[in-house]
Amino acid sequence: MFRFPKIDLSKLDLPKFDPTLNGGPGTDQLAERMARLQRARKVAYTKWAQTYGQPKQPPRPAGGGETILDMEAPEATGGAWTAPRPDRGRAAEPGLDLSAMMRTLREGRPTSRGRSSVAVPPGARFEERVFTGAAGSRRYKVYVPSGYTGQALPLVVMLHGCTQDPDDFAAGTQMNALAEEQAFLVAYPAQAQSAHMQRCWNWYAAGDQVREGGEPELIAGITRAVMAEFSADPTRVYAAGLSAGGAAAAILAATYPDLFAAVGIHSGLACGAARDLPSALAAMKGQAGPAATNRQPVPTIVFHGDGDRTVHPANGDQVIVQAGAVPGLIETVTRETSPGGIAYTRTVRSDADDRAVQEHWLLHGAGHAWSGGSPAGSYTEPRGPDASRAMVRFFLSHALGPRARA
């Protein structure tokens, strides 16, 4: 059964839909408030349906793939957040599911499968911090490998997808295990539910695509806080993310090229692909306009499944275009199959020193999930090539020059 997309009530201006919601005598009565909320919801649905037509429920991807999106809640525990699709399924139902809404509010977080605690080897640390700056406050976690003794290590900033959190993302990507193996720090900023009901980074909001203010400034602030606390190498700082987190990583490349030496975007979108929710839905369907090239090229690695029904694979091409034209690159295309049976096409553009500057991994038949990830976390495709290992290899081959540092 299709459900009308969830609305972040903290951001919805309900009085525009029902002026009686402005408050006044008697509005503290639960029944009255719920009745008014239901009327506002129906009016909002009518406006939405008039603009976008009657949305339908997409089918589950074949082969166990998962989808995830900011808009439509899973139908059952373990399900995925999915995009409304206009081309198949049954008609939408505008009714307000009060029991589901209240359950979500009581639980305080959306459902996501595979959440588990993250194992920490002896001598290592996986600790939570809180960053507060001019743009706001966010929690984050930091993984410090057991081999850390105060030396200047590289830092990888990992940006989770919708409905995920740092523990879930760490479990799925297994980035901490690579940090332990290769000696680097990992930071996991956590999106607040007060900023987005499904804990998505607001990649499509105009105010969150700029250097000063908004979420890019928050993430950059967290990055600098980790660098300062652990004396991280300022020339070897990187960002990677999945879905909304991947789009946020692309925004960091555009807004903070003096801070991040390279970025990895998995199933994400280019900076500026959308400026609001309607254009975000269009971009996710592959209807974004041409991507603006970053003023300062940033080495970029992209993973995207060509079976992704949530974020169209054309967005991966857009991210590569946005990464910037670097003269003299030599392109190499290889086609291989992962040990798990996922075929992929890898396009590498390398400089004169045979160093990869741009990589695009197109995963054939894969859906909206982290390639090569662990089933201990949500939204992973364990059969695919190891995206985490490939990103770390790519990252560590790049460092900021003295003039580019923040």
One-letter-per-residue 3-state SS of 134-178: CCEEEEEEEEECCCCCCCCCCEEEEECCCCCCHHHHHHHHCHHHH
104 φ/ψ angles, rounded to the nearest 5 degrees: -60, -45
Specify whether the CB–CB gap between 245 and 216 falls below 8 A: no
**Model-level pTM?**
0.74
Count Cα atoms within 13 angstroms, Cβ side, for 216. Answer: 25
* Of 105 and 42, more confident: 42
Backbone angles phi, psi at 404, to 5 degrees: -90, -10
Q: 300 pairs with which residues across the strands? A: 263, 358
**Domain coordinates of the chain in residue numbers?**
14-107, 125-404
pLDDT at 401: 83
Phi, psi (rounded to 5 degrees) for 247: -65, -40
pLDDT the model gives residue 85: 39
Q: What's the pLDDT score for residue 292?
A: 86
Please give the pLDDT value at position 116.
Answer: 53
> Which among 167, 80, 187 is positioned nearest to 377, based on CA atoms?
167
Judge whether residue 295 has pLDDT over 70: yes
Q: Please tell me which residue, 296 or 64, carries the higher pLDDT value.
A: 296
* pLDDT tens by residue, 140-189: 999 999 999 999 999 999 999 999 999 999 999 999 999 999 999 999 99
Give the residue among 354, 347, 352 at the shortest CA–CA distance from 390: 347
Residue 376 to residue 307: CA distance in whole angstroms: 22
For the segment 338-388, what is each residue's pLDDT rounded down to a tens digit? 999 999 999 999 999 999 999 999 999 999 999 999 999 999 999 999 999
Judge contact between 347 and 81, C-beta under 8 A. no
Nearest to 314 by CA among 322, 306, 323: 306
Instruction: Please give the full DSSP string across 201-236, using - where no structure is assigned.
Output: --TTSGGGSSSSSHHHHHHHHHHHHHHHHHT--TTS
Least confident of 18-22, 187-191, 205-209: 18-22
- Looking at residue 360, what is its pLDDT? 98
Specify the higher pLDDT residue, 116 or 157: 157
Nearest alpha carbon to residue 277 among 382, 202, 199 = 202
> What share of the chain in percent tops pLDDT 70?
70
Task: Name the residue with higher pLDDT: 121 or 6.
Answer: 121
Q: In the structure, what pLDDT confidence band is assigned to residue 37 with cuts at 50, 70 and 90?
A: low
Residue 48 clears pLDDT 90, i.e. is over it? no
Encode burial over 303-338: b for 16+ CB neighbours within 10 A, e otherwise. Answer: bbbbbbbbbbbbbbbbbbbbbbeeeeeeeeeeeeeb
Give residue 86's pLDDT band: very low, low, confident or very high (50, 70, 90): very low
Average pLDDT estimate for 209-220: 94
Above 70 in pLDDT, residue 391?
yes
Q: What is the mean pLDDT of residues 20-35?
A: 45
Average pLDDT over all residues of the chain = 79
In the predicted model, is pLDDT for residue 400 greater than 80?
Answer: yes
The DSSP result for 250-307, as a single string, is HHHHHH-TTT-SEEEEES---TTS-SSHHHHHHHHTT---PPPPPSS---EEEEEETT
pLDDT-above-90 percentage for the chain: 65
Residue 241 parent element (H or E): strand 237-242
Average pLDDT over residues 198-227: 95
The listed CATH number (3.40.50.980, 2.40.128.720, 3.40.50.1820, 3.40.640.10) that belongs to domain 125-404: 3.40.50.1820
pLDDT number for residue 402: 67
Closest by CA position to 173, among listed 237, 110, 242, 222: 242
- CA nearest 195: which of 229, 228, 219, 226? 219
Angle at which helix 166-173 crosses helix 175-182, to 10 degrees, equals 70
**Mean local confidence (pLDDT), 119-146:** 95
Assign 25 a pLDDT band (cuts: 50, 70, 90).
Answer: very low
Determine which of 302-316, 329-343, 389-403 has the lowest per-residue pLDDT on average.
389-403
- CA dist 95 and 90 (Å) reads 15
Task: Determine the Cα–Cα distance for residues 297 and 169; give it in Å rounded to an integer.
Answer: 28
The pLDDT of residue 41: 52
Residue 60: is it exposed, middle or buried by C-beta count within 10 angstroms (0-12/13-18/19+)? middle
CB 157 within 8 A of CB 240: yes
Per the model's pLDDT, the better-predicted residue between 18 and 171 turns out to be: 171
Provide the pLDDT confidence category of residue 53 given band limits of 50, 70 and 90. Answer: very low
pLDDT tens per residue across span 241-290: 999 999 999 999 999 999 999 999 999 999 999 999 999 999 999 998 88
Give dist(CA 403, CA 406) in Å, integer: 9
Decide if pLDDT at 109 tops 70.
no
Q: How confident is the model at residue 38 (pLDDT cuts 50, 70, 90)?
A: low
CB 60 within 8 A of CB 79: no
pLDDT at position 324, please? 82
pLDDT of residue 162: 96
